[in-house]
Amino acid sequence: MMSKDNKPVLKADGTISLNDLEKNEYYEVNVSRRVDFGVFVDINGNIQALIRNDNLNGNKKVGEKLVGEIIKIDKNKNEVDMTEVGMNKYETKEKSKEINLSLVKEITSENAGELFKVRGEVIGVKTTGGPTIFTLTDGTGWTWAASMDSPGSRAHPHISAGDVIEVKGEVSLHQGNPQIETASMEKLRGNKSTEFRERMNEELEKRTEIEEVNFLADHSVLEKLENRMKNVAKEIKKAIHAGRPILIRHHADADGYVSGLAIEKAILPILKETSPDPDARWHYIKRRPSKAPYYELTDVLKDLIFAREDKMKFEEKMPLIVVVDNGSTEEDIPALKRLVEVYGLDVVVIDHHDPHVVEGEAPVDEYLKAHVNPYLKGGDSNLTAGMLSTEVACLINPEIKDQIKHMPAIAGKGDHSKYEGYIKHAVDKGLEEDELDKIAEVVDYESYHWKFNDGKGIIEDILMLGTLNRHRKLVNISWEELDEEKKRTKRAILPHVKEKTFSNGIKFNTLDVESYAPKFEYPAPGKICGMVHDELEEDSTVTLSYGPDFCVVRASEEMSELGFDLNKIITEIREDKPETGINGGGHEYAGSIKFFQGERDKVLKDLAKRIANL
């Protein structure tokens, strides 16, 4: 609808400056201040005009809208005069400068002072004491749109993380970085949004291309896993570039810590480069150790609750979940179902626990964006999660290779891996082989005491990712203590071990850890079982340490030739004697079993009988 004079009523957006105004144009304006001689009105956030009392129809309130006609423009004095046009009903026409759409990466500090228009996905919103800062990306880079509503308040409250927006405004420099002083900000919907997301995804694909593959070790399974490893690396890189937080979940043992730290170390420098926010490392990346050898319900529910709270509180996107040294087995499925099916999160896994592959596929695969596991390509758990994660870390960020290349050897020692292809890299960095053992044990010992904290600030020193001097002191001090403690424990428990040799020649050692070992102290029952086993092992030995309702089992390598498979035995007993409540498992030759306390004797006798009859 035109005004009574058939002139359009214009509404100037933030791209309009004094130079764009013309005499006799009509504008919708807002009263901003009343003075003795008239009122000042805002044409937009940049231009103020004066309407003198003579040119006003009656009193005006601050905030009132009216239509004004431009009657004088003085560019030198930066002054505009208007006269009120009495109109009740009218439609407005947006007056805006035509600006071409640019890519985010095209905005550089050299463009300061120029008008730009870009589209991007909002990846963060920060309310400051001054303007609200929207961080956005279109996949080609990040930029910031500063939007001042009134100082300290959240501008554009209807726009939040995950939305696609179009921003126009002048580029200014903020801390040397270009930033858009928002003249207008609009949420895109429907087709515009879909098209944008497709293009953004293409850009991300390009930017996260893995160019160089140069494995640290020469293991045939690595090559077969190459594509899968690239996929995990790409998902992680895409998350960083797209401003998606990353949550790393890892098993709380030496192999798990190596896995988690390798990925974390690869991410941090890219994150720092991508996001100038010094707090990014606290918001965008979290690492949490898991007690159980799988992603327990307790852990996943905590992760979901925290992620949803962070999303609401800090205006973040929901995270990418990276599970390392866990995540591959059927026991992980309840967690994955909640993450993926219910809450639509993306999950990637690097693990070496047996995923029970059937026809090249693991049962967990249907929930995962990407999955690396040696069993998927004919390998086994000797290629540990820490080894695989370090390789993936180097794909993500090849520049950290020298910094982390000694870690797979530590992971291997922690998990008693027979694969020795990584030891040379540790030797390169001055670590003797017995030091690797010590470091792995120190990870166990220290992390046992800091419980399920992430150990940030200490674990780096243990794993030789920080100061060398500190690393050496900490490992020596800790090793001396734990070695002493193990020796003392061994002296006290060995007299209580019962040794027996079956007629088939298998040696069977048992220890009642409830009665003859320290409780709720380091070393834990699993560790004790290993210590006893290592001490008393001959060919074909099985060692079993038991409590009132559980036992831990370790078998010599030779036992597998005799057909010993712990998981199989557990399944058989469960079928024969369901009333024992038996449950558990692990590797073929090492694992733990739970049963009803009242059925302990029945379970242990049955177990012994099966071993004696191998």
- Shortest spacing between CB 207 and a second copy, in angstroms: 26
Residues whose CB falls within 8 Å of the CB of residue 314, separated by 6 or more in sequence, listed in order: 124, 283
Pairing of strands 370-372, 347-350: parallel
* Separation CA 421–CA 403 (nearest Å): 18
Residue closer to a second copy (CB basis): 8 or 466: 466
Structure tokens at 110: 């050299």
Report the helix count and the strand count for the chain, using DSSP H and E. 18, 24
Max alpha carbon distance in the chain (Å)? 117
Q: Please identify, among the stretches 125-133, 320-328, 349-357, 377-385, the one whose residues bind a second copy according to the rule CB under 8 A.
A: 125-133
Is residue 175 at the binding interface for a second copy, with CB under 8 A as the rule?
Answer: yes
Kindly identify the residues of this chain, within the stretch 565-584, that bind a second copy according to CB under 8 A. 578-581, 583
Q: DSSP string covering 353-391, please?
A: S----BTTB-GGGGG-SEEE-GGGGT--TTS-HHHHHHH
Q: Work out which of 45, 269, 334, 398 binds a second copy, going by CB under 8 A.
A: 334
Residue closer to a second copy (CB basis): 3 or 48: 48
Residue 419 near residue 220 (C-beta atoms within 8 A): no
Kindly identify the residues of this chain, within the stretch 581-610, that bind a second copy according to CB under 8 A. 581, 583, 594, 596-599
Is residue 269 at the binding interface for a second copy, with CB under 8 A as the rule?
Answer: no
- Shortest spacing between CB 572 and a second copy, in angstroms: 16
Kindly identify the residues of this chain, within the stretch 478-517, that bind a second copy according to CB under 8 A. 481, 489, 491-493, 495-496, 512, 514-517
Kindly identify the residues of this chain, within the stretch 292-311, that bind a second copy according to CB under 8 A. 296-298, 301-302, 304-305, 307-309
Pairing of strands 26-35, 65-74: antiparallel
Closest CA to 392 of 248, 211, 266: 266
Residue closer to a second copy (CB basis): 334 or 398: 334
Kindly identify the residues of this chain, within the stretch 440-459, that bind a second copy according to CB under 8 A. 446, 449-451, 453-458
Kindly identify the residues of this chain, within the stretch 55-114, that bind a second copy according to CB under 8 A. 61-63, 109-110, 112-113
Q: Work out which of 337, 424, 498, 500 binds a second copy, going by CB under 8 A.
A: 337
Kindly identify the residues of this chain, within the stretch 360-399, that bind a second copy according to CB under 8 A. none
* Separation CA 307–CA 343 (nearest Å): 11
Kindly identify the residues of this chain, within the stretch 4-23, that bind a second copy according to CB under 8 A. none
Closest CA to 145 of 157, 129, 165: 165
Q: 127 in helix, strand or coil?
A: strand
* Separation CA 562–CA 530 (nearest Å): 21
Residue closer to a second copy (CB basis): 7 or 594: 594
Residue closer to a second copy (CB basis): 323 or 394: 323
Q: Please identify, among the stretches 126-134, 267-275, 363-371, 389-397, the one whose residues bind a second copy according to the rule CB under 8 A.
A: 126-134
- Shortest spacing between CB 589 and a second copy, in angstroms: 25
Q: What string marks each residue from 400 to 439 as x (binds a second copy by CB under 8 A) or -? A: ----------------------------------------
- Shortest spacing between CB 330 and a second copy, in angstroms: 12
Residue closer to a second copy (CB basis): 59 or 100: 59
Q: What string marks each residue from 26 to 45 as x (binds a second copy by CB under 8 A) or -? A: -------xx-----------
Residue closer to a second copy (CB basis): 23 or 488: 488
List C-alpha distances in Å: 522 to 103, 115, 118, 489: 57, 65, 58, 9
Q: Please identify, among the stretches 167-175, 209-217, 349-357, 602-610, the one whose residues bind a second copy according to the rule CB under 8 A.
A: 167-175
- Shortest spacing between CB 308 and a second copy, in angstroms: 3
Closest CA to 419 of 220, 207, 189, 127: 220
Sheet of 550-555: strands edge to edge? 498-501, 507-512, 541-546, 550-555, 590-594, 583-586
Is residue 613 at the binding interface for a second copy, with CB under 8 A as the rule?
Answer: no
What burial class does residue 190 get, using C-beta atoms within 10 Å of its C-beta: 0-12 exposed, 13-18 middle, 19+ buried? Answer: exposed
Residue 279 near residue 286 (C-beta atoms within 8 A): no
Q: Phi, psi at residue 221, to the nearest 5°?
A: -70, -30
Structure tokens at 274: 């991508």
- Shortest spacing between CB 151 and a second copy, in angstroms: 6
* Separation CA 27–CA 84 (nearest Å): 10
Q: Work out which of 11, 97, 174, 486 binds a second copy, going by CB under 8 A.
A: 174
* Separation CA 141–CA 353 (nearest Å): 38
- Shortest spacing between CB 355 and a second copy, in angstroms: 20
* Separation CA 408–CA 344 (nearest Å): 32
For a second copy, how many residues bind (rule: CB under 8 A)?
85
Residue closer to a second copy (CB basis): 69 or 454: 454
Q: Please identify, among the stretches 339-347, 393-401, 428-436, 562-570, the one whose residues bind a second copy according to the rule CB under 8 A.
A: 339-347
Sign of torsion, CA 447 334 262 139?
A: negative
* Separation CA 112–CA 93 (nearest Å): 29
Kindly identify the residues of this chain, within the stretch 135-164, that bind a second copy according to CB under 8 A. 149-154, 157
Q: Please identify, among the stretches 340-348, 361-369, 424-432, 558-566, the one whose residues bind a second copy according to the rule CB under 8 A.
A: 340-348
| Residues facing 41 on adjacent strands | 31, 49
CB atoms within 10 A of CB 501: 13
- Shortest spacing between CB 456 and a second copy, in angstroms: 6
